[in-house]
Amino acid sequence: MQTPAGKNLRVLSLGVLASTLASCVADDAELDPLDQVSTASAPVTSTCTPRTESHSDPNTGQSWTTVWTCGNQAGAAMYLGANNSTVVSHMDSPSSWFVCYRRGEMHAGGNNVWYYSQGDRAAAGWSGRQAWGYMPAVNVFTTTDPSPGIPQCHPDMWQSKLSISDPNTGKSWSTVWTGTNIGGTPLYKDTNTSTPIGYIDSTTSWFTCYARGATVSGFDVWYYTQGDRTISGWEGRHAWGFMPAVKMATRNDPYDSVPACAFGSSGGGGGGGGTICASPTAPSLFPVRGVHKTGVFDDAASNNPSLWSCENNNSRSDFDPPDHIGIDILAAEGTPVVASVAGTIRQAEPSSYSGNQVAVVDACGWTHYSIHLQRLATGITTGVHVNANTIIGYVGHTGTASNGVTHLHHSIYPGLPANNDRYDEGISPYPLVAAVEHNVCD
């Protein structure tokens, strides 16, 4: 459905061109009647003709004061995007105005140019768009695409359905915003250019949310997405990062309904260093689920399981940096070890020194580290998101550092395993885990 203004103007343009158009289309659909003056010795060109005319598009919120009139295939379909997927309207007139062009999918005309206009009638179910859509250049009678002078459409982002999870922030999305960006653009861990972690090679990409940060070429908006490849050393992030809005083709930033990132301006702890909270997420559960005794190795009674309990009544700390950065929890071989916080598994593999080890990185970028495990629980692998109380393994005595004593060694330190190991900055886990060391056998 057209606005009255649009309809009148299209009738006017049709009237002006009607007589020449009919014969032209019959002779050669690729020629524009306005350029029939070309001589035989010069190549025949067909271009769209500009004129002053105002149109507003409720779909993009944009207005134009210049349009380009072109001959076109009468009845041509018009599409939601610059691709053949969704017909939203039809253009019945054989000559029509267009406001801009966009590059998209290749079409039968042998190029990827699509022209934007308001059609004459909406397709069923699409009346809300007021017939605005893209026409493939194959149906617009020009010898050059884009026709000289017609501007590129201000690019938009469009909503798409995509279920995606980010192990770095623990966030999931079911809707993303797709748009056009400069290919080969670095992605950054946070909303500044200090830590590049990967690249986005595609020129059409989806984004989940935005955050504000450092100003880059006049823009302080950053869009968050998963890139196409990682920078060496940042594999653990799976290429999730921020792109500065200057690399993104949008008419405004943040674009319309793109939501603010719930995790703020830092892309979480995964895969490397960067912004880390001053203190860890406090454990909500004790890491061992069963009778135990915490922080005591050096007396015979400690090794008497009949003295172990489900409470903290016999517990004390053996945190003693730099010699012992963590605490030891005596418990029977095979006692379940649980994640004490929600987070992402960042290490789940054996080492000769620590034995079977699992690192859970919390939303603050701190590692909660459990080692000497008898074995890992099923499904515990790098990148998996766990909730507090997820069983991650079982108490054992693996690794030379266990000295053959069955126990869990548990550490809490800032940063991540492997890529940016700040183990030596570990804090005493004792006050944190002792605070939740009640009824741990339930």
Scanning 76-84, 152-160, 164-172, 408-416 for contacts with Zn ion by CB under 5 A, the matching segment is 408-416
Smallest separation, CB 401 to Zn ion (Å) = 7
| Residue with Cβ nearer Zn ion (145 or 328) | 328
Scanning 181-189, 248-256, 407-415, 426-434 for contacts with Zn ion by CB under 5 A, the matching segment is 407-415
Smallest separation, CB 297 to Zn ion (Å) = 8
d(CA 259, CA 210): 6
Per-residue binding string, Zn ion, 284-323, x by CB under 5 A, is: ----------------------------------------
| Residue with Cβ nearer Zn ion (107 or 409) | 409
The closest of 265, 254, 257 to 160, measured between CA atoms, is 257
Run of H or E including 15: helix 4-27
| Residue with Cβ nearer Zn ion (346 or 409) | 409
Smallest separation, CB 364 to Zn ion (Å) = 23
Scanning 184-192, 197-205, 306-314, 405-413 for contacts with Zn ion by CB under 5 A, the matching segment is 405-413
| Residue with Cβ nearer Zn ion (190 or 328) | 328
Smallest separation, CB 326 to Zn ion (Å) = 5
Residue facing Zn ion at closest CB distance: 409
User: Does residue number 328 form part of the binding site for Zn ion (CB under 5 A)?
Assistant: yes
Q: Under rule CB under 5 A, which residues in 42-81 are in contact with Zn ion?
A: none
d(CA 110, CA 103): 12
User: Does residue number 385 form part of the binding site for Zn ion (CB under 5 A)?
Assistant: no
Smallest separation, CB 307 to Zn ion (Å) = 20
Smallest separation, CB 318 to Zn ion (Å) = 7
Return all residues near 425 (Cβ < 8 A) that are at least 6 apart.
413, 414, 415
DSSP track, 66-129: EEEEEEB-TTEEEESSSSSS-EEEEE-SSEEEE-EEEE-S--TTSS-EEEEEE-SEEPTT-GGG
Smallest separation, CB 328 to Zn ion (Å) = 4
- Can you give the C-alpha Rg of the chain in angstroms? 32
User: From the centroid of its chain, how far is CA 281?
Assistant: 24
User: Does residue number 368 form part of the binding site for Zn ion (CB under 5 A)?
Assistant: no
User: Does residue number 156 form part of the binding site for Zn ion (CB under 5 A)?
Assistant: no
Using an 8 Å Cβ cutoff, are 99 and 133 in contact? no
3 state DSSP class of 332: coil
Q: Is the peptide bond before 136 cis (omega within 30 degrees of 0)?
A: no
d(CA 388, CA 341): 4
Smallest separation, CB 225 to Zn ion (Å) = 40
Scanning 61-69, 224-232, 402-410, 433-441 for contacts with Zn ion by CB under 5 A, the matching segment is 402-410
User: Does residue number 32 form part of the binding site for Zn ion (CB under 5 A)?
Assistant: no
The closest of 378, 423, 426, 416 to 237, measured between CA atoms, is 416
Smallest separation, CB 356 to Zn ion (Å) = 14
User: Does residue number 409 form part of the binding site for Zn ion (CB under 5 A)?
Assistant: yes
Paired tokens of 246: 């200057």
Scanning 90-98, 112-120, 286-294, 404-412 for contacts with Zn ion by CB under 5 A, the matching segment is 404-412
d(CA 277, CA 341): 15
Scanning 165-173, 234-242, 339-347, 403-411 for contacts with Zn ion by CB under 5 A, the matching segment is 403-411
User: Does residue number 410 form part of the binding site for Zn ion (CB under 5 A)?
Assistant: no
d(CA 303, CA 296): 9
**Residue 253 phi/psi, 5° resolution?**
-135, 135
Interface ranges with Zn ion (CB under 5 A): 326, 328, 409
